[in-house]
Structure 1
Amino acid sequence: MKTRGTSKKGTRNVWCPNYSNCLDDCLSAGKGGFSCHGCEYQDDYSGAPQDQAELAEDCRGCMALLLAAYQDLKPSQARSRASGL
């Protein structure tokens, strides 16, 4: 039984409920990337936003991550700025 994809090439399912764990594993192992190809969860989209409120919250989280990464903001500053968008 395959559990997690490891190839650098391919697509990722960011809505998979296991995506964060796979991303953490990839970063901890110092890998340059990973793919969900061949993973038993590659077609599991149960982590996708279920309504507009969840989608908006997810968008704010993504924006906070980008602000923290590219504008050198502390996480709390990035979340605050993203919540005003």
Structure 2
Amino acid sequence: NDREGGGPPQLRTDLLLLYQLAMAVFNDGSRSQVAGLFEFAVDLEDQVLSLMTSLEQVQETLSKLTALYPESLSYEDGDVSES
């Protein structure tokens, strides 16, 4: 949950709206919503690409950090309580 009050993430809400628009256009033949459907899809694609770029940067940073993980902290038996 990333919204105030514990609501669902906005992206989830937007994807559900896109789905509803697509069903109206493709299943119900609502031609008046075709332009809106594709404009909304393009907007969401831009949002997702931006999120992916940001997440790739975070992943690169985390990879650099985890590459520094000292072998002395690794235990074959999985017990990390030893010091």
- Which is higher, the Rg of structure 1 or of structure 2? 2
Q: Same fold (TM over 0.5)?
A: no
Looking at secondary structure, tell me which structure has more helix per residue.
Answer: 2
Structure scoring higher RCO (CA < 8 A, sep ≥ 6) equals 1
Q: TM (normalized to structure 1)?
A: 0.28
Q: TM (normalized to structure 2)?
A: 0.29
